[in-house]
Amino acid sequence: MESNIRWLVFAILISLTFSSFVLDHGTLAESVKPDEAKQLRDEVRGMFYHAFDGYMNNAFPLDELRPLSCQGEDTLGGYALTLIDSLDTLALLGDRERFTSSVEWLGKNLQFNINKTVSVFETTIRVLGGLLSAHLIASDYATGMRIPSYNNELLVLAEDLTRRMLPAFDTPTGIPFGSVNLMYGVDKHESKITSTAGGGTLSLEFGVLSRLTNDPVFEQVAKNAVRGLWARRSNLDLVGAHINVFTGEWTQKDAGIGTSIDSFYEYLLKAYILFGDEEYLYIFQEAYRSAMQYLHKDPWYVEVNMDSAAIVWPVFNSLQAFWPGLQVLAGDVDPAIRTHTAFFSVWKRYGFTPEGFNLATLSVQYGQKSYPLRPELIESTYWLYKATRDPRYLDAGRDFVASLQYGAKCPCGYCHITDVELHKQEDHMESFFLAETVKYLWLLFDLAVDSDNLVDNGPYKYIFSTEGHLLPLTPQISLPRERCSYFGGYCPSNSTKPEQEVLEEESNNDERSNSYPYHESFPITGLIKGLCPGLTHAQKYGLSYVLPEKTDREDVDEAKPVVTSSSIVLITDQRMEKKPQEEEGFTSQSEPIMTISGGSSNDQTGQELTLLESETDDQRLYSS
């Protein structure tokens, strides 16, 4: 009863919060037009070089830049972290010269045989991810950035690094220790407590490494870690924030989509997209449904106890801001639009997002006043613009640029903001500023100009790792069992069979062929036209799984994913009746964001069109 009253009060506060932001930020600035988008794109490029050159001139080969004092510092392993994290942004910007010299320098000088204890999570997403994405660009003619002298040096380094992290996975639960010494393995005094994001955000990088080296061990340990975490979910299908990797007991039971958990959700969906592994999709569907049921207080998200769903923290934390972008990828655009509007209203209020904003007191959460140059809200803005082409997302981008230029720019780079109310600068620049923050900003404006970049108009579909690294859906990575030719629509003769033959074989043979080591992985389609054995029914026909209708808890077992004719990621501007970008001279985009499914999704696209149309005006909250 008492908790009901508390919840009622909280709900009223939340709705007041939301409407007050709408009123507070009603000033209408002129929308970004194509010319301005081009200027902004160039300005963002300038931002990148101010920070990158600042790092190279003042900090390299140390890990990160101190942009106020123009010095360097080792913050992770002491291996030129910012350079590694910046590689694929250099390639994206078309900077062949710096990309080549950086790859060459790293190939000659980088080594991991060092007595350093490092975070498994940070090393994976920043270093391993950075090396793999750069390797995939530097080794491939199709990217237009191939380096002639390149001889897989970064891949060799990536494999060496990851083997040095493998001892961390030697736990009874399969969930890795949080840290590992690159020379000596796990220290006997190492903490057994790790975060859910730390243990559950390794599958993309480890999976790509397995597929490039043909050694399944990396993909397997990363998947075991996810299974270890998911096996310990609560009856509500929620996971906590921290867990003991030996006992499997949750030591922090707050469930949420932000701090300590965020990218666990992200990698479930992305691992399915990249590898076609349906186990990840099933877990994502259950986890997502539960998050929307218990954590979503439209348009905000709260933290709840994973067993009871009682609210423990009515706080927006800045790491939550990746969620609308993930929802776009999952095809759930409507709530993404609402949540982005709410999160952006916090940015508008302070000029940055604080690490925590209390939804009950409508103020910055005590002790969480800083803005460490995080990318998440910008990342979601990029995805929403890509999905809707609504110019309000460009306007948001202009605000991000203005805040960073006026508030965070400092002598040698960009500074963290210690307090979003006072706009005080701190002498630190995280490597993700160049890996993600600037990358997503540049991509946002480039979409409005010509989209002529590796991600939006390249030889492959790409997904972004949680650190913003580009991972392509190449046949080697995404279709390892099929080996079908790419884009050509032809499979090798021994793998192309008449449909009937394939169906008969499948029904006679429950076990899939194990000739490829990743026998649990299922490839994805949309990239090929031929029928290949091993593709699932849904994949052959361009269908995809979507979330089942919300059901009561008792019915959950029956709420199996259903195959429908919709794509989980088929989003085009056809859904925008008004097509504002065309009216205003923007080039129109008729391609889906990612081609995971083929045709037969027109019905669903039409349905979503209706939803977006009916809400567009209401959604223009911060620009009305």
Q: Which residues bind ligand DMJ (CB under 6 A)?
A: 125, 263, 319, 374-376, 432, 436, 466-467
When the beta carbons of 319 and 502 are compared against ligand DMJ, the nearer one is 319
Helix axes 217-230, 278-290, angle to 10 degrees: 30
**Does the active-site annotation cover 608?**
no
Closer residue to ligand DMJ (CB): 14 or 328: 328
| Distance of closest approach, residue 501 Cβ to ligand DMJ, in angstroms | 45
Nearest Cα residue to 136 out of 160, 121, 152: 152
Between 41 and 374, whose beta carbon lies closer to ligand DMJ? Answer: 374
Catalytic residue among 63, 88, 153, 262: 262
Q: Collapse the DSSP code of 221 into the 3-class scheme (helix H, G, I; strand E, B; otherwise coil) and give the result.
A: helix
Taking the C-alpha atoms of residue 55 and residue 413, their distance in angstroms, rounded to an integer, is: 7
Measure the CA–CA gap between 166 and 438, rounded to whole angstroms: 32
CB of 373 to ligand DMJ, least distance (A): 8
Residue with tokens 């997502």: 288
Q: Which residues contact 422 (CB under 8 A, 6 or more apart)?
A: none
What is the helix (H) or strand (E) element at residue 64, kind and residue range?
A: strand 64-66
Question: Rounded to the nearest whole angstrom, what is the least distance from the CB of residue 319 to ligand DMJ in the complex?
Answer: 6
420, 68 contact by CB (below 8 A): no
Cβ at position 197, least distance to ligand DMJ in Å: 7
Q: CB nearer to ligand DMJ: give 446 or 467.
A: 467
From the candidates 376, 426, 430, 573, which is the catalytic residue? 376
Q: Which residues contact 11 (CB under 8 A, 6 or more apart)?
A: 297
Instruction: State which residue, 52 or 518, has the beta carbon closest to ligand DMJ.
Output: 52
DSSP 512: P
Q: In sequence order, which residues have a C-beta less than 8 Å from that of residue 143 and are 6 or more positions away?
A: 91, 136, 137, 454, 458, 459
Measured from the CB atom, is 237 or 376 closer to ligand DMJ?
A: 376
Q: Name the strand (E) or helix (H) holding 255.
A: strand 254-255
Nearer to ligand DMJ, 197 or 527 (CB): 197
Q: How far apart are CA 514 and CA 496, in angstroms?
A: 18
376 is catalytic: yes
Of the CA atoms within 13 Å of residue 568, those in its CB half-sphere come to 26
Side-chain half-sphere exposure of 193, counting CA atoms within 13 A: 8
* In the complex, minimum distance from the CB of residue 432 to ligand DMJ, in angstroms, rounded to a whole number: 4
Minimum Å gap between C-beta 436 and ligand DMJ is: 6
Distance, in Å, from the CA atom of 271 to the CA atom of 287, rounded to the nearest integer, reads 14
- E strands along 327-482, which residues? 356-358, 363-364, 409-410, 413-414, 416-419, 424-426, 462-464, 470-472
Q: Which is nearer to ligand DMJ, 45 or 374 (CB)?
A: 374
- Active-site residue (options: 355, 390, 573, 608): 355
Nearer to ligand DMJ, 364 or 531 (CB): 364
Instruction: Note whether 211 and 518 are within 8 A (CB).
Output: yes
Residue 174 Cβ vs ligand DMJ, minimum distance, rounded to whole Å? 21
Question: What is the Rg, in whole angstroms, of the alpha carbon atoms belonging to the chain?
Answer: 23
Catalytic residue among 63, 122, 266, 278: 122
Say which DSSP state 568 is in. Answer: S
Residue 388 CA, chain-centre distance (Å), reads 19
DSSP, collapsed to helix, strand or coil, labels residue 102 as helix
The CB-of-82 to ligand DMJ minimum distance in angstroms stands at 12
Count the residues in the chain: 624
Minimum distance from residue 12 beta carbon to ligand DMJ (Å): 31
Which residues have a catalytic role annotated?
122, 262, 355, 376
